[in-house]
Chain A
Amino acid sequence: MSETMIMGVQLALYGLGTVFAALVGFALLVMVLRRTMTPPAAETAPADEQS
């Protein structure tokens, strides 16, 4: 395997890993923010009240 290919494999692993880490982090962030920012009533309110 050439040196460039080895670097390519490293780029693929680190790159995809970085993207996954970031987006999983964003997902967790949104879940936490939603939980802290949404008033409890809004989560359980009937649909007509929400609108």
Chain B
Amino acid sequence: MGMPNAEKWFGSVRTSGKSATVGGFGVLDALLQGFTGLTWGRVAMFAIGLTLIYLAIKKQYEPMILLPLGFGAILANIPFSAAIGEHGVLTILYDAGITTELFPVLIFIAVGAMIDFSPLLRNPVMFFFGAAAQFGIFATILVAIGLGFDLKEAASIGIIGAADGPTSIYVAARFAPGLLAPISVAAYSYMALVPLIQPPVIRALTTQAERRIRMDYQDVPIPKALKIVFPIAVTLLAGLLVPMGVALIGLLMFGNLIRECGVLERLSLSAQNELANLVTLLLGITIGSTMTAEAFLNSHTLLILGMGLVAFIFDTAGGVLFAKLVNLFLKRKINPMIGAAGISAFPMSARVIHKMGLAEDRSNYLIMHAISANVAGQIGSVMAGGAVLALVPALLK
């Protein structure tokens, strides 16, 4: 029973003045349109939304993003949902925060304010692993092109390998907004699944002897001036190298400068808490609102989820193999597992490596090295995002 029917019935009430029961069919029709508009696709999306909420609450997989994402998916798939559409609040938020790239960029200020670069400043050699573990991004771009995606879509899918949600969202929002939902789900889900994804890849690529390699750690003091100069210098260098990535690396470093300068403690705390919480809340539910059945339930989503996994595997392999390559030229060997910590998933990846080290040798503490590489990965992922943003339009000219 559609709206024209309802108009007919309301019309009859107005002209004939018959009992309200006749007009009630139209009212009932309007009340039941949510149920009559249900499709199997929408029901499947409810199930997906509920699964994300379950994973967030029960398994605690990235709950800050997966729970709003799941609930946003439910809101978006209720038939005739007023939350989305021209005047829908979630669409307004999407236009204001995602289309303009405002939300991911604000998240970078918060992330910058949370990061302590000291372990990396003590051990700058770890920067190399922050670069090597971005291998998965570029390998996955080639896989995506091989599967028929165009360059912009492939670049957006590859960036899942940055293991960095805001960077993935930023790049996808610019290059492939239609794929934003599956890319975000993949990026955050696999970040949460790092403890399951990395160990088998590392074990497959290393020997037990390699996993037992010990590394010295010197806890040298880092001058405060260095902590202040570092974010400014990185912004200038990175900005000059890839100006397209300035919004990413610049605001990450701005957040870090607020943290390290020592005179803006209130702003630093606000960025770490209020800003991070508020934007994460809006980011998750807003992206969830793009998970409509029509946009999400297709073969592309499955391919993207699959390629996200491939990206994380290639990242891990890239880091480990690079460490093994470097070891060929070093007297004091590096534990190749450290290479795998060069992804941006902080601090999960560092914890995984530390635990794997302890599992091989109860007295081998790799945590500080792993954290150094992990922090380098956070810079590496943002640089990779900036490079992709700069190179794709240049190549398409």
Contacts and interface: CB of A to CB of B under 8 A. Distances in A.
Interface of A: 2, 4-5, 7-12, 14-16, 18-31, 33-34, 37-39, 42-43, 47, 50
Contacts of B137: 15
B397 to A, nearest CB: 11
A19 B384 contact: yes
Nearest to B376: A23
Given A8-B145, A8-B151, A18-B387, A33 B226 contact: yes
Contacts of A39: 223
A10 to B, nearest CB: 6
Contacts of A47: 219
A3 to B, nearest CB: 9
Given A7-B151, A15-B138, A16-B138, A26 B234 contact: yes
A7 to B, nearest CB: 5
Chain B interface SS verdict (over half): helix
Chain A interface SS verdict (over half): helix
Given A29-B237, A33-B226, A34-B121, A18 B220 contact: no
Interface of B: 120-121, 124-125, 127-128, 130-132, 134-135, 137-139, 141-142, 145-146, 150-151, 154-155, 219-223, 225-226, 229-230, 233-234, 237-238, 241-242, 376, 379-380, 383-384, 387-388, 390-392, 395-396
B142 A8 contact: yes
Given A12-B141, A19-B387, A24-B127, A4 B150 contact: yes
B221 A26 contact: no
Given A11-B141, A22-B237, A4 B223 contact: no
Nearest to A38: B223
Given A11-B392, A24-B127, A43 B383 contact: no
A27 B233 contact: no
Nearest to A34: B226
B142 A12 contact: yes
B380 A23 contact: yes
A8 B138 CA distance: 8
Contacts of A50: 219-221
A33 to B, nearest CB: 5
Given A5-B145, A11-B395, A27-B125, A21 B241 contact: yes
A42 B128 CA distance: 26
A10 B395 contact: yes
A34 B222 CA distance: 8
24 contacts: A2-B145, A8-B142, A9-B142, A11-B138, A12-B138, A12-B142, A16-B134, A18-B387, A18-B390, A22-B131, A23-B128, A23-B379, A24-B127, A26-B234, A29-B234, A30-B226, A30-B230, A33-B226, A34-B121, A34-B223, A37-B229, A38-B223, A42-B223, A50-B219
Nearest to A11: B391
The 8 closest A-B pairs by CB, nearest first: A12-B138, A27-B127, A30-B124, A23-B131, A18-B387, A8-B145, A27-B124, A23-B127
B127 A4 contact: no
Contact of A11 (B127, B132, B229, B388): B388
A12 B242 CA distance: 15
Given A15-B384, A19-B380, A30-B121, A25 B237 contact: yes
B224 to A, nearest CB: 9
A6 B216 CA distance: 43
Contacts of B238: 22
A2 B138 CA distance: 17
Given A8-B141, A12-B141, A22 B223 contact: no
A20 B376 CA distance: 11
B383 A18 contact: yes
A12, A14, A21, A24 pick with most chain B CB within 10 angstroms: A12
